[in-house]
């Protein structure tokens, strides 16, 4: 294998020393890979992690043969922010078995984007519930597939969304739109920590 020809992109600068993570979660076909591609400087790559249903990743290779083994694939892209900071974006499935991986792979993540297709709102409920339990900051981005145009209040109600969680529309195919989603997330994380995570007086963000 000639690694020079299979490289996805130009390498990082020699001074890069701080990797950061943002995870984009959502159901199949909601636009996760599309959003990663829109902003990534490399074409999206994919990889996988193998784990047992008990939640432990299978590093003990005897476990590879066990029937309880399951594999979760995810894709990712990369954004060089400056000479030292590199942001990795992960597109990950929202379904139940994926969450076994969360602590192992995505602990220390800056935050998450929950991508929602308004034609299949209920697909997102589980992911939102899990992120809230984990205490991971997140925003909800409605990817526009031409589905029903619900009012923000209806969507918040359907998702049982905490009033301070930002809700915005996006087009995952658009670089500008994907950028805006990421900026909204990081501003939300910033505001959350600036205000102190326990401050109940945080304003509702209504961006739809």
Q: What is the binding site for other proteins (CB under 8 A)?
A: 1, 3, 6-8, 11-14, 16-21, 39, 45-50, 56-62, 64-65, 71, 73, 76, 78-82, 85-88, 90, 104-106, 108, 110, 175, 179, 182-183, 186-187, 189-190, 193-194
Residue 144 near ligand GDP by CB under 6 A: yes
Burial of 197 (0-12, 13-18, 19+ CB in 10 A): exposed
* Options 25, 159, 172, 181; binder of ligand GDP; rule CB under 6 A: 172
Residue 111 near ligand GDP by CB under 6 A: no
Rounded to the nearest whole angstrom, what is the least distance from the CB of residue 122 to other proteins in the complex?
A: 28
Stretch that binds ligand GDP, among 24-32, 51-59, 118-126, 199-207 (CB under 6 A): 24-32
Residue 34 near Mg ion by CB under 5 A: no
Residue 143 near Mg ion by CB under 5 A: no
Residue 31 near ligand GDP by CB under 6 A: yes
Residue 187 interface partner, choices other proteins, ligand GDP, Mg ion, none, CB cut-off 5-8 Å depending on type: other proteins
The angle, 0 to 180 degrees and rounded to 10, between the axes of the packed helices 175-195 and 32-39 is 90
Quote the CA–CA distance of 112 and 65 in Å, as a whole number. 33
162-196 in b/e form (b: 16+ CB < 10 A) is eebbbbbbbbbebeebbebbbebbbebbebeeeee
Site string for ligand GDP, 58-87 (x = CB under 6 A): ------------------------------
Quote the CA–CA distance of 200 and 99 in Å, as a whole number. 28
For the chain, the maximum distance between any two Cα atoms, rounded to a whole number of angstroms, is 57
Of 90 and 98, the one with the shorter C-beta distance to other proteins is 90
Quote the CA–CA distance of 12 and 195 in Å, as a whole number. 34
Of 30 and 178, the one with the shorter C-beta distance to other proteins is 178
Residue 109 near ligand GDP by CB under 6 A: no
Residues that bind ligand GDP (CB under 6 A): 26, 28-34, 91, 143-145, 171-173
């Amino acid at each position: 294998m000639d690694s020079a020809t299979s490289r996805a992109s130009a390498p990082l600068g020699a001074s890069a020393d701080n990797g950061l993570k943002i995870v984009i979660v959502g159901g199949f076909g909601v636009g996760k890979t599309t959003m990663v591609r829109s902003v990534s400087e490399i074409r999206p790559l994919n990889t996988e992690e193998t784990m047992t249903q008990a939640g432990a990743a299978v590093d003990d290779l005897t476990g590879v043969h066990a029937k309880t083994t399951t594999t979760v694939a995810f894709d990712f892209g990369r954004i060089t922010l400056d000479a030292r900071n590199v942001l990795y974006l992960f597109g990950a499935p929202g379904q139940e078995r994926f969450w076994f991986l969360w602590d192992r792979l995505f602990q220390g993540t800056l935050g998450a984007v929950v991508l929602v297709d308004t034609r299949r709102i209920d697909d997102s409920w589980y992911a939102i519930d899990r992120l809230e339990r984990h205490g991971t900051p997140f925003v909800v981005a409605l990817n526009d597939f031409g589905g029903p145009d619900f009012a923000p209040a209806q969507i918040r109600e359907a998702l049982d969304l905490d009033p301070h969680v930002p809700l915005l529309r996006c087009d995952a195919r658009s670089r500008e739109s994907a950028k805006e989603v990421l900026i909204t997330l990081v501003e939300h994380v910033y505001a959350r920590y600036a205000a102190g995570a326990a401050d109940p007086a945080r304003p509702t963000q209504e961006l739809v």
